[in-house]
Structure 1
């Protein structure tokens, strides 16, 4: 019996468990799907042929992880799914019909995790608690996806019986900070998590308690995808309120970008094609050749982390020619510079530092920098970070294991005093624009990134009717993101997932209902009907201990409290 942590990565996935005998975390190897001689599970899935069952539906035969690599399946085949996690973080992912079944990244990701859970069960690993790690970027969307997967995952884990443990979430940068076992009380730690698909940066402060044994006495992060006890269980609620802040990790500032090693592979491929006219243009390159080239570029990128030059050979079956692909480390760095790679990294660091300064923490106060993720192994990335923090000690010897180790420490009771890492707002149309079909939405901020919860003071808002005889007012609340510096947008070009670097200001509003962007979180009835020009509703917003946005609504005309502490959305 043990707690299990899962770090589902864009390129590789890692599984860990808490060893009750040694009282320490350890990495699990799932022999059937892990890469030989390592514990890394390639985050890839391949759909084999389906066989009809008695109900005339398809029984999916799947290959996952190293089964896909060892099977020699072509990445150009549409049955082959890679970079699944990264695809989960973008809008409008492509959907393919495989053996009559519509398949997208959401389904592929769920099936990938289900195969992992079946492997855990086949190795007779009894899971008492389950911890998922999640990226800072598009955190809300990722959690909604996990939430939709959880019933099937639990069936695979328990053979259909009820799962009695907790299912918890911790963001990847915070887990990494805990995973390096930096146990000096009240220390500031900057975590830079740079993987295959995302860049997440997080500044945390370790607990103030000098007795490290007391760190384990507080309850861990109680956000649960499945809550087995009642939502109004007084013990569950009071356990949050009674936590000692001296025993909790404090998350000070976070940010994230959809940028990673996969982008570097694509940039290297584009550069290679631009200098080899004898090979057909990339837009005409067949999918199989593109997949082979991307794999070669990844190998070159990895090799350049430890050597000055790297060479691979590409055989073009259409022209019956072989081409040497040679790159030096300096050439790679020139490409990264031209694509704005270093600027995105620097801007993300600056964003976190600026938020820390706003809370009275100076850059010079940072003494510990933690690096995780495969892209953190790039020498020029390490150089940029070391130059940015010349007085800090940089830790980078656990680029893959740190997140798992930290997630498992959370399960042992290391509490987290967290802050929001998105801005949240209400969407509305100004009265002057009601009849204008081209009017743009406006947004009234509620709580901003960095807000600690539970909130000490409420946010109050007065609403008026926008038209005569108005019967109700709808509240549509969502994440609000405005980027005024370099940002990265992940898009599909054909079948390729690529990143584009933008320097313009972009406002992005993502409603929190998770199903229909036009469905309000709360519909407030007006009785009698509302009229233009009169203050009608008083809204009092707060964030409770469970990260829920709650609202009390008072009708100013009737002086009736229509809603009291109504939970309307989960915040993150």
Structure 2
């Protein structure tokens, strides 16, 4: 059986489609439908994942890792008990936990999964997620963009063409996808958002406000105390959640510190929804700008949007929903499925489609980042621009820059914002020596429906051609095979 896994910044969920073709969230060993994406190192040979790990963040923050999804695909490392771990290795413990409780729940070994990722993740970030699953013994049969998964979770009521905007505002990322849906075809028109805007940023604002309040009222700086700081983060997150349903909440943390002047220090502040919204107004304005950017990219007016789908915990925030209602007053708002679960539901449906148990839909996606090559001056030359719908093919003509040149090196890159990510390269050799500017080399990029990129270089004058295939926009086939010794070391650590 293939399950769907929503690997989130804050929480991770697993879902599947049962024999009656109903989508079910798989509960963990504690009976919870969500598992916090938190890893705590109990000792050198045991890690705890989930709710118990999250509680340890208060007293042992140096051994507790939160929000690892935000650093996937980066050079960040964690050193604990004199062992160094990459983000993929830390995330692998989360996937192992999911694999374990899903297998126990289903009564069969889970070996394959559809895993969701932000649409705005670049190639390195996607590779890192696939590697994490691979280190956990899971085969990723498909990486599915989170907003697309959210759209799949809702069954279309009719076959008429609709313009759908998915706003996936989670713990660590804000993911926006605009798509056209008709008769089982989902055509993505534009994607956008930020991998550095999410619920954690709202927690950060509240935490700073509490720290400033304590400095003003008690003349004490709690930011230097890691245990106190983690307590404040935890209570700030809860206050944010509470204010989605109440107009006012109290943040009470007794005996958080000891002051020479005041003795025992307690946090006891009242926070209104209005103040919270004022404190986080800049974050909401940033979210609004990102939504506008996606509409502009697709050349679509707000009144053309028929349906808005809410996903992610921050989408519950009344101020965010009011903002969206002002931007899209005539659109239907869909939030009936739990926003925390909607991505996992869509992933499970895609898994069942791949198994042939649900009717397949056709997905046409767009490139979130431009693809191209480096020219002789080291400048990026786009071959397929960001926002292009695939399958597609594009060709540009290049020449050589030196006399007596018999080869060129084709370096394939992806442009993520202003950063260039190398996807691969190959050497195109000729059977003869070119004079400077003599060669006419056609470089073609072809992307299939599943994101497989083939790069072809052809000497137009001689007809000689060579190509290289990069399997999947998400580079699933390029994920390196883990070192067996490292695998043995990781699996020597028990996941609780």
TM-score computed with the length of structure 2 as normaliser? 0.85
What corresponds to 2:422 in structure 1? 511
Return closer, same or farther for 1:127/1:529 CA change in 2, 3 Å cut-off: same
CA distance in 2, matches of 1:10, 1:417: 25
* Runs of 5+ consecutive residues of structure 1 not aligned to the other structure: 51-59, 158-162, 209-246, 432-440, 483-506, 514-520
8 Å contact from structure 2 (residues 384, 445) kept in 1: no
1:349 aligns with 2:291: yes
8 Å contact from structure 2 (residues 10, 171) kept in 1: yes
Look up the SS of the partner of 1:414 in the other structure: coil
1:169 aligns with 2:159: no
Look up the SS of the partner of 1:570 in the other structure: coil
Mapping of residues 241-320 of structure 1, within 5 Å: 247-258=184-195, 259-277=197-215, 278-281=218-221, 285-314=224-253, 315-319=255-259, 320=264
Mapping of residues 42-61 of structure 1, within 5 Å: 42-50=36-44, 60-61=45-46
Point out which structure has higher relative CO (alpha carbons under 8 A, 6+ apart). Answer: 2
Mapping of residues 487-498 of structure 1, within 5 Å: none
Deviation, 1:175, is 0.9
Look up the SS of the partner of 1:121 in the other structure: helix
What corresponds to 1:550 in structure 2? 454
Return closer, same or farther for 1:399/1:279 CA change in 2, 3 Å cut-off: farther
Mapping of residues 48-447 of structure 1, within 5 Å: 48-50=42-44, 60-69=45-54, 72-74=56-58, 76-88=60-72, 91-93=74-76, 95-123=77-105, 124-127=107-110, 130-154=113-137, 167-185=141-159, 186-208=161-183, 247-258=184-195, 259-277=197-215, 278-281=218-221, 285-314=224-253, 315-319=255-259, 320-337=264-281, 340-357=282-299, 361-397=300-336, 398-410=338-350, 411=353, 412-428=358-374, 431=377, 441-447=378-384
Deviation, 1:19, is 0.8
Residues 209-254 of structure 1: CA distance to partner in whole angstroms, max 9, x if unpaired? xxxxxxxxxxxxxxxxxxxxxxxxxxxxxxxxxxxxxx42222221
CA distance in 2, matches of 1:448, 1:250: 17
CA distance in 2, matches of 1:117, 1:128: 8
1:41 aligns with 2:39: no
Return closer, same or farther for 1:99/1:308 CA change in 2, 3 Å cut-off: same
Deviation, 1:261, is 0.7
Return closer, same or farther for 1:336/1:151 CA change in 2, 3 Å cut-off: closer
TM-score computed with the length of structure 1 as normaliser? 0.74
Deviation, 1:76, is 4.9
1:474 aligns with 2:409: yes
8 Å contact from structure 1 (residues 75, 81) kept in 2: no
8 Å contact from structure 2 (residues 365, 390) kept in 1: yes
Deviates more, 1:141-150 or 1:253-262: 141-150
8 Å contact from structure 1 (residues 425, 443) kept in 2: no
CA RMSD of aligned residues (A): 2.5
Deviation, 1:323, is 2.6
* Runs of 5+ consecutive residues of structure 2 not aligned to the other structure: 475-496
CA distance in 2, matches of 1:138, 1:169: 11
8 Å contact from structure 1 (residues 78, 96) kept in 2: no
CA distance in 2, matches of 1:364, 1:460: 36
8 Å contact from structure 1 (residues 552, 561) kept in 2: no
